[in-house]
Amino acid sequence: MKTQLMMGRRQFLFGATGMAVAVAGCTTTPRAAFVAVPRPALPDAALMYAAIADEQFPVPAARIDLIDPKYYRQVVKDPTGEKPGTIVVDTPRRFLYLVQEDGHAIRYGVGIGRDGFAWGGRARIQYKRKWPKWTPPSEMIDRQPELEKYRHGMSPGLDNPLGARALYIFEDGKDTLYRLHGNMDARSIGRAVSSGCVRLLFQDVIDLYERVPDGTSILVLQTDAGGQNA
C-alpha cells in the first residue's frame, strides 16, 4: 500500500483544499468531517525528516540516527478499532495513531512527558496553533523559579517547549491542559521524559497538524493498545 507520509504545505494545500480549518477559541467546536489523505509513494525517512526552510523559524533536519526506526512515521495496520480520522495516543508504547479509512493508520513515534501520564480518555482537538507561545503554570514556576521570566509567556521559536505546532485537547468544552506538541530533542522519542505532554518531532507534528481539523476526536490510552512494534 502506498500512502503519503510527508508533503510540503504547498502540496498539501493544493491536494486538499477542501480541508478548511477554522481556528477555534475556547468554545466547543462541532465535529469535523474526516478528509481522506491522497496517497503517493512512501518517502524515504531522510526525506520525511529533512530540514524545512519555509517555516517561520527554519526547522533543521531531525537527528533520526538517534531514534529507533520503529518510531519513524509509517503506515501500519490499525490496532485501535477507532473511526477514521481519530487520533489515538498509546502512552505505554509511545505511539500516536491517526486512523485511516482502509484499516490502516499513520503511526508516529512520541515521547511522553510527566504531564502526558496525567490524563486519559476521550476528548477533542479544540484548536491548533502554529509556533505557539508557551506559558508555564504557576505551580511549575513555584517549583522552578528560573521560569519566572516566562510567567507571561515565552515567545515562539525553536527552543519554545511547544515547538513548531501545538494541538490543544478539551473534554466537554473544558481544557484538559493536555497537548500534542513539537519537540527538538530526537533522543526523547520513544521514551518517558521529565516534562511536557505528548512530544512529536517537528516534522511529525507539522505533518499531523496538516492532516487533522479542529474538532478531531482523540483517545488517550494509559494502557497498551496492542500496537505493532515494527
C-alpha cell at 73: 512515521
Q: 181 an active-site residue? A: yes
Q: 104 an active-site residue? A: no
Closest among 223, 224, 125 to 180, alpha carbons compared? 125
Q: Are 104 and 74 in contact (CB under 8 A)?
A: no
CA dihedral 192, 55, 208, 135 (to 10 degrees): 50
What DSSP string describes 103-148? SEEEEEE-EE-GGGGS--EEEEEEEEEES--B---HHHHHH-GGGG
Q: Are 197 and 180 in contact (CB under 8 A)?
A: yes
What are the distances in angstroms from CA 211 to CA 63, 151, 153, 192?
23, 32, 28, 26
Instruction: Determine which one of 26, 104, 152, 181 is catalytic.
Output: 181
Residue positions annotated with a catalytic role: 181, 197
